[in-house]
Amino acid sequence: MKEMPLQVEVKPKSKLKIPSLSKTRKRSDYFWAYCMIAPTMIGLTIFYLWPIIQTIYFSFTEWGAFGQYEWTGLDNYRRMLEDSNLLQSFKNTGIYIVFTVPIGIFLSILIAVLLNQKIKGKSVYRTLYFLPVITMPAAIAMVWRWLYNSDYGLLNYLLSIFGIKGPQWVSDPKIALYSIIVVAIWSGLGYNMVIFLSGLQGIPRSYYEAAEIDGAGPVKVFFKITLPLLSPVIFFVTIMSFIGAFQVFDLIFMMIGKSSTALENTQSIVYLFYQHAFVLNDKGYAAAIAVLLLIIILIITAIQMVLQKKWVHYD
Amino acid sequence: MEKARHHITSKTILIHLILIVGALAMVFPFIWMLLTSLKTYAESIHVPPVIVPKHFQWVNYKDVFDLLPFFKFMFNTLIITVIRTIGQLLLCSLAAYAFARIEFPGRNILFLIALSVLMVPGQVFLLPQYMIMVKLGWLNTLQAVVVPGLFSAFGTFLLRQFFMGLPKELEEAARLDGCNHFQIYWKIMLPLAKPGLVALGIFTTLWSWNELMWPMIVNSSPESMTLSVGLSSLQGQYLTNYPVLMAGSFLAILPMLILFMILQKQFIEGIAVTGSK
Amino acid sequence: MKKWLVLLLTLALGLLGLAGCGSSGTSGDAKDGKVEITYGFWDKKQVPAVDEIIKLFNEKYPNIKVKTELTPYAQYFQKLETAATGGALPDVLWMNGPHIVQYAEGKVIVPLSDLASKDNYSLDNYPKSLVDLYTVDGKLYGIPKDFDTTGLWYNKKIFDEAGIPYPDNTWDWNKLKEVAKKLTNKNKGVYGFAALMGNQGGYYDFIWQNGGHIISEDGKSVGFDQPEAIEALKYNISFIKEGLSPTQAQMTETAPSELFSSGKIAMMFDGPWMVPEYKKNPDLNVAVVPKGKQRAVSIHGLANVIAANTKHKDAAWKFVQFLGSKEAAEVYAKTGTVIPAYNGTQDAWLKAVPNLNLQAFIDGVDYSVPLPSVKNTGEIWQYETDILKKAWSNEESVEDAAKELTKKADEALAKN
């Protein structure tokens, strides 16, 4: 991600420069270029770029039954300010991010570092850790809901052996979100681990060898060499995880039932969007929520670009 | 500097210990899923839990197929995944090549516009995309899921990185031989960008297979559902009959599991590549 | 050059092929004059009966092929709303009381009155209350299919083990509570009575039994905050409070109907649609619902309607007529699937499952109250779920929840 979009590419000078770049060649170039980008650009415009404008438009409307809508100006935005459900969903999403991202990254780095050592069976471990990543969130949610079941789930049974009465992992409003966070960390670990592993392998051995000669212990090596050199990757993963966590939906949708008492305390912003858009048929309001999400992510991206210059080491 | 590679130190044991604990935590839910899928409902709610069922209830799997057309789900998901992946590989690489290797007016602006899509959260596209599907009459069809997924700013960006890294001399040499851009793209650049293509392919395959929200929104008829959506609808029918739900879940993840076992290396390398770019 | 052309063509053809075979919601015509219509419904328990009815229908009309579309209830109306917006509703579909007004006034289903009078289709064959339910603004929109009331399902084995006589028609609220206490056995994980949070066959019934009302006569206000309703809600929730029922959280995690089938719940209210499921368990039977200040149970019935976007109105109407015929009713009756609406066929239903006291449901008709139905019933039901669950899980007092619900529901009613 070094070449971030804002960097304008300098025209490379061709080494074998042909004295006169003929007009026909240029025209042929342009023809091919436009043809080649056409499918993607047209597709992106129809399905992505134009929809951005449409969503912004819809955010100023209110929808009735069966697809009729009318302009209502800033009503939806005013409503957002008073919507306690929305505020709560922000809190929920915030808690989700605060726990999932740092803990997840820490664990992934840990496992990646361990796997980077000289040990046997690396590929077996890698495969096992990657299993949750290739599993669909719908299935993951199902099996974890079952493990978490208050009366018949395995987790509470194991706790009962030690005389502890297990809580209602997915029904207790105070705990449900954290139960989901555990599942999120569990299922994302392998993905980040693989990226970190590849990053670790990109660190030249010479650094480690030099440190060894200097007599540095493993902890010092980790903090003074590994971490700094890994920082571009850590930065990238953090941002991606953050943005991903911000948009959490699948897990919550599958693990928390519509009539569950824990719903208000676990709804994410995107879940609320889905509710309003496709269950309550409140599409205008949903569009407003989407616009809100857009603004927030743009701000985060801007912050990211500033931070990147300050914090990330490049050699 | 030759250290005895299989020298078992206490450090190695500690590392293995931690890794094994983690690996068990990773795998255990899958084992439990399989075991539960073979129990009767009574066994599954028995306290203390029955670990291994007395008789393997393969009938649970039959129930899944009886109620919902699971084979259809798999077929739908397969078609969607394959077409999306091939489509993206083709379309994104075409555009990426042009953006990377050809100078043409508006190149940078157009690329920036395409890239702006990356900065927008997916939900912003959903409603209008949905309205398009409604207008086209494409609800409950496979193309509703496939078509928007054929175009990817991410894929274009990723592959452009790859193409930019290839030496310009190759191109000039081919030009002298009289090739046009398409031939250069097809015969030279594409084969060289294979790691990038594999990476994008794996990424798109995984994402297509597991996607839930969009397929759920556009396809609510059992005929056109994908596996993820089918699973969620299974939950609606069977409420909390966990053995059947587990059977359904296991069936849903089985194809990707098998694919992964075969192509492990490619999967993991592919993901690593998307991260490092 | 050739290779890419081939590839591109293949891709294009592939997409076109998809566009062809993934045809949109409503029917497609085959070449030989055959017509295909789609039939949308929920409830997997009724699939065998529906299949048989279709088979009989095809004996009369071999050229009309019926494709069924089963969608779980939880997603049914959501999907319909989407489909209706896109003109992709199934040709024939199930409709229920809470939604009929919205769909009729939204003009996404077809009025059947003219079709009926043209074919001399008699509406006398159905209970008047059901015909009225599906008549909006003077026009009939649906042909009644079945009706259901509420019954007190119970587990004989649990009663036998405790030496308690089975429920009968002398039971009242006190008796229900008393027996539930005796049958609750924490050690075995058995609960006396499942206090499900549900309106039909749940708190609506209790409210009516206590003399309360849901929607006032003039349709302008709800009665949740009236003392009768609050008392009824409190009674309903008291089972949870006193440990005689699984908690709301428990009932969300593990469905009571499944717990009931497995002998973990001694008694619960449920409808006749559970017969195909519960008849498999010899320990289960059903009795009339206990009385409060008076007897009352909800009554409701589904109807078959025709979508406005159908391309085969004729075929759809023929199918709907058949669905409402005595023949179809008898299929439902003899398989014990649901109580058919067609007058006189209920006896066959009663006899279908002799070891179950199905008479309890028929008795209920005498003192039944129809489910209230207004244009935004769906909205009001959503409020009920969102707000009452707080009372059920003891997060809010019943009075507060009832007040909040009344406020929101009254606002919704004002929009009509």
Comparison of pLDDT for C25 and B241, the residue scoring more: B241
pLDDT at C230: 95
* Mean pLDDT across chain C: 87
pLDDT at C21 exceeding the cut of 50: no
Domain boundaries, chain A: 4-58, 84-311
Strands C35-41 and C64-70, by their bridges, are parallel
Distance, in Å, from the CA atom of B140 to the CA atom of B137, rounded to the nearest integer, reads 9
Whether B137 and chain A come into contact, CB under 8 Å, resolves to no
Measured CB to CB, residues of chain C less than 8 Å from chain A are 74, 78, 81-82, 84-86, 102, 106, 108, 189, 197, 248-250, 252-254, 382, 385, 389-390, 392-393, 395
pLDDT at A182: 95
Tokens of C262: 């497995």
Nearest C-alpha in B relative to A132 = B26
CATH topology of domain A84-311: MetI-like fold (1.10.3720)
Distance, in Å, from the CA atom of C364 to the CA atom of C372, rounded to the nearest integer, reads 17
Nearest C-alpha in A relative to C74 = A258
Residue of C24, C78, C79 with shortest CB distance to B141: C24
Question: Tens of pLDDT along C364-389?
Answer: 888 888 888 888 888 898 899 889 99
pLDDT at A10 exceeding the cut of 60: no
Tokens 């959260």 map to which residue?
A: B121
Q: Which residues of B144-174 are buried (b: 16+ CB within 10 A; e: fewer)?
A: bbbbbbbbbbbbbbbbbbbbeebeeeebbeb
Amino acid at residue number B64: V
pLDDT at A162 exceeding the cut of 60: yes
- Measure the CA dihedral C48/C52/C53/C59, to 10°: 160
Element of type H or E holding C368:
strand C368-370
pLDDT at C15: 52
pLDDT at B54 exceeding the cut of 90: no
CB contact under 8 A, C82 and B67: no
**Total structural domains in chain B?**
1
Q: How many cross-chain Cβ pairs, A to C, lie less than 8 Å apart? A: 56
pLDDT at C297 exceeding the cut of 50: yes
Tokens of A193: 């681990």
Question: Tens of pLDDT along B107-153?
Answer: 888 988 888 888 888 889 988 998 898 888 888 888 999 999 999 98
pLDDT at A251 exceeding the cut of 70: yes
Mean pLDDT of C220-234: 93
What confidence tier does C344 reach under pLDDT thresholds 50, 70, 90?
confident
CB contact under 8 A, B141 and C19: yes
Question: Tens of pLDDT along C158-196?
Answer: 999 999 999 999 999 999 999 999 999 988 889 999 999
pLDDT at B67 exceeding the cut of 80: no
CB contact under 8 A, A48 and B153: yes
Comparison of pLDDT for B120 and B182, the residue scoring more: B120
The residue segments making up the domain with residue B206 are 64-276
Amino acid at residue number C125: N
Name every chain C residue with its beta carbon within 8 A of the beta carbon of A168.
249-250, 253
Q: What is the phi/psi pair of residue C94, to 5°?
A: -75, 145
CB contact under 8 A, C81 and A65: yes
The 3-class secondary structure across C269-290, one letter per residue, is EECHHHHHHHCCCCCEEEECCC
Q: Decide if A233 contacts A216 (C-beta within 8 A).
A: no
pLDDT at A249 exceeding the cut of 80: yes
The alpha-carbon gap from A185 to the nearest alpha carbon of chain C, in Å, equals 23
Nearest C-alpha in B relative to A42 = B151
pLDDT at C322 exceeding the cut of 90: yes
Distance, in Å, from the CA atom of C233 to the CA atom of B112, rounded to the nearest integer, reads 60
pLDDT at B32 exceeding the cut of 90: yes
Nearest to B38 by CA among B245, B275, B264, B255: B245
pLDDT at C320 exceeding the cut of 90: yes
Is B10 inside a domain boundary? no
> Subunits that touch chain A (at least 3 Cβ pairs < 8 angstroms)?
B, C
Residue of C86, C197, C395 with shortest CB distance to A259: C197
CB contact under 8 A, B29 and A9: no
Question: Tens of pLDDT along A88-103?
Answer: 999 999 999 999 999 9
Name every chain A residue with its beta carbon within 8 A of the beta carbon of B23.
125, 128-129
pLDDT at B192: 80
What confidence tier does A67 reach under pLDDT thresholds 50, 70, 90?
confident
SS3 C65: strand
Name every chain B residue with its beta carbon within 8 A of the beta carbon of A121.
16
Is B249 inside a domain boundary? yes
8-state DSSP, C70: E
pLDDT at A311: 65
CB contact under 8 A, C106 and A66: yes
Handedness of CA B25, B26, B31, B37 (dihedral sign): positive
Q: Decide if B29 contacts A144 (C-beta within 8 A).
A: yes
Name every chain C residue with its beta carbon within 8 A of the beta carbon of B241.
255, 258
What strands lie across the sheet with C265-270, from one edge to the other? C191-193, C265-270, C151-155, C284-287
Distance, in Å, from the CA atom of A153 to the CA atom of B236, rounded to the nearest integer, reads 20
Name every chain B residue with its beta carbon within 8 A of the beta carbon of C258.
41, 239-241
CATH code at B258? 1.10.3720.10
Q: How many CA atoms lie within 13 A of A170 on its CB side?
A: 32
pLDDT at C9 exceeding the cut of 60: no
Mean pLDDT of C281-291: 94
- Residues 6+ positions from B207 with CB-CB distance below 8 Å: none
Question: Tens of pLDDT along B226-253?
Answer: 988 888 887 766 677 888 889 989 988 9
Distance, in Å, from the CA atom of A145 to the CA atom of A151, rounded to the nearest integer, reads 12
Whether A280 and chain C come into contact, CB under 8 Å, resolves to yes
Nearest C-alpha in C relative to B40 = C262
Paired with C287 in beta bridges are C152
B122 burial type by CB count under 10 A (0-12 exposed, 13-18 middle, 19+ buried): middle
Name every chain A residue with its beta carbon within 8 A of the beta carbon of C197.
259
Q: What is the phi/psi pair of residue B136, to 5°?
A: -80, -10
pLDDT at C86 exceeding the cut of 80: no
Mean pLDDT of A258-272: 87
Distance, in Å, from the CA atom of A43 to the CA atom of A31, rounded to the nearest integer, reads 19
Mean pLDDT of B59-70: 83
- Residues 6+ positions from B39 with CB-CB distance below 8 Å: B50, B53, B57, B243
Is B40 inside a domain boundary? no
What confidence tier does A230 reach under pLDDT thresholds 50, 70, 90?
confident
Name every chain C residue with its beta carbon within 8 A of the beta carbon of B228.
none
Nearest C-alpha in A relative to B203 = A134
Beta strands in chain A (DSSP E): 61-63, 69-71
Tokens of C150: 């509420």
Mean pLDDT of C60-74: 87
Whether A171 and chain C come into contact, CB under 8 Å, resolves to yes
Question: Which spans in C198-345 are helix H?
Answer: 204-209, 227-241, 248-253, 256-261, 275-278, 313-323, 326-334
Q: Decide if C141 contacts C258 (C-beta within 8 A).
A: no
C370 burial type by CB count under 10 A (0-12 exposed, 13-18 middle, 19+ buried): middle
CB contact under 8 A, C73 and B141: no
* Mean pLDDT across chain B: 84
Is B2 inside a domain boundary? no
- C81 alpha-carbon distance from chain centroid: 18
- Measure the CA dihedral B245/B247/B251/B252, to 10°: 20
Name every chain B residue with its beta carbon within 8 A of the beta carbon of A93.
none
Whether B227 and chain A come into contact, CB under 8 Å, resolves to yes
Name every chain B residue with its beta carbon within 8 A of the beta carbon of C262.
41-42, 45
SS3 C253: helix
Q: Decide if C39 contacts C68 (C-beta within 8 A).
A: yes
Helix axes C47-60, C313-323, angle to 10 degrees: 120
Mean pLDDT of B15-22: 90
Name every chain C residue with its beta carbon within 8 A of the beta carbon of B135.
86
